[in-house]
Amino acid sequence: MEKQHPVELHIPVPEHSSRLLALMTLLFLIPKIIILIPHLVVLWALGIISFVVGVAGQIVVLFTGSYPRQMHEFMVGILRWQVRVNAYIFGLRDEYPPFTFKE
C-alpha cells in the first residue's frame, strides 16, 4: 500500500529562467525584497489574522468535532500565498506572485 501524504507541493521547473534576476539575487537580495514589500506587509497582517482564526478553529473543533470549511479554505489560501512568495524569493519561479488565495 502506497503511503499518502496530506500535502503535495508542485512547482514545475521553468524552461527558461531570467539570468538577470538570478544575478541580482546573488549579488543583492535587496531588490527582490523591495519589490515584495506589498506581499510581505499583507502576509504579515494575514499571519496575525490566521493565528486568531486557527485558535478559533481549534475551539470549534473541540465542541463540534469538525473544522469549518470557510476557516479551512482561508488558512489553506494563506499557505498557498506564502508558498508562492517563498518560491519567488528562492528563485524557484520567475513570475511575480499574484495577490490571491486561489491555486
Q: Measured between alpha carbons, how far is residue 26 from residues 58, 72, 95 in Å?
A: 42, 37, 17
Per-residue pLDDT of 65-97, as tens digits, reads 999 999 999 999 999 999 999 888 887 887 888
Q: How far is CA 24 from CA 27, 60, 91, in A?
A: 5, 47, 11
Express each pLDDT in 36-69 by its tens digit: 899 999 999 999 999 999 999 999 999 999 999 9
User: Could you give the CA distance from residue 6 to residue 13 in angstroms, rounded to a whole number?
Assistant: 22
